[in-house]
Amino acid sequence: MKNSTLLRILKISSFLIFLGRAYQHLFWDAPFRSFFWDQSLLEPIVTSVFGVSWQSYVTNLNTDHAIQFLTRFTGFLYSICAVICLIIHERSKRWMYSILKLGSVSLILLALLLTKEKFYHLIMFFEHTIQFGVPVALIYFLKNQNQETLIFYLKIFIALAFTCHGMYAIGYFYPLPGNFVTMTLNILPIQEEMAKNMLFLAGILDFVIAIAIFIPRIAKIALLYAAFWGFATAFARILSGFHYDVSFSITHQYLYLVIYRLPHGIIPLLLFFLVKQPIKSTRITNLVSV
């Protein structure tokens, strides 16, 4: 694959991530309150620096307005980053790279906030590696144009995301998320126990895929499945919403969840075309040479 084509796909993937997050922050909400309303963490600072009680701080409308402003401002930053992803090139001005780096750091901070919101489940952070890793990979490839290193990094992102998703799906290390079960029940005509069994199997396959993409002989098959599963889990967000109603409000409510997850399917599909199929055996090689 030519570097220009690879770069274009990285740009589109990064654009979708920033676009989906911008959509979320501009129209819905973000987990900033999990930090700014954490009494055990911020009460000493609030009382000593601002000289007000914690109760006054959390009930003050100005506090909520400030959090809303931060949410919308972050959405505006992501919007700018989404546009930059489409127009940036190797010789772009430094300010474009600076804004894109700031947006990438913000995505990492967002993953940390989501981790905090989920009671510091570390796998929640690494489940987002594709989402904050792809823009970083775009910046790297713009500077270095090294396909082999890029492929390795993208495989790491996929492996971490699938492993962490699998750990949730099997419900052993961490509780099985209720929304996993709800989405499955809303899409498929099955009972709850069957849904949990299906998710358990999907979790086991997630572990297999995380390993298989590093094994040359089966990497392409594993990546093809990863691409299918990435797209399936992305569109499941909006399909499960249609269980309740097919309307603009439902589309508006769930669409951003689909947009920033589309690279979960795009990146494995990209690697499917990038990785080279190994020669099946030395015997075949010898026969061809003869």
pLDDT of residue 276: 81
Q: How confident is the model at residue 285 (pLDDT cuts 50, 70, 90)?
A: very low
pLDDT (mean) for 15-44: 96
Using CA of residue 83, residue 85, residue 90, residue 93, what is the dihedral sign? positive
Q: How confident is the model at residue 279 (pLDDT cuts 50, 70, 90)?
A: low
pLDDT over 80 (residue 21): yes
User: CA-CA distance, 91 to 88, in Å (whole number)?
Assistant: 8
pLDDT over 80 (residue 287): no
CA nearest neighbour of 25 among 76, 66, 61: 76
Whether residue 34 contacts residue 113, with contact meaning beta carbons closer than 8 Å, is answered with: yes
User: CA-CA distance, 244 to 255, in Å (whole number)?
Assistant: 15
| Token pair of 6 as six digits | 């690879």
pLDDT digit string (tens) for 174-223?
899 999 999 999 999 999 999 999 999 999 999 999 999 999 999 999 99
Q: What angle do CA 249, 254, 258 make, to 5 degrees?
A: 140
pLDDT over 90 (residue 246): no
pLDDT digit string (tens) for 107-130?
999 999 999 999 899 999 999 999
Using CA of residue 276, residue 277, residue 279, residue 284, what is the dihedral sign? negative
pTM of the model: 0.93
How many residues in the chain? Answer: 290
pLDDT of residue 280: 58
| Token pair of 207 as six digits | 């572990």
pLDDT of residue 16: 98
User: CA-CA distance, 231 to 227, in Å (whole number)?
Assistant: 6
* Of 60 and 280, more confident: 60
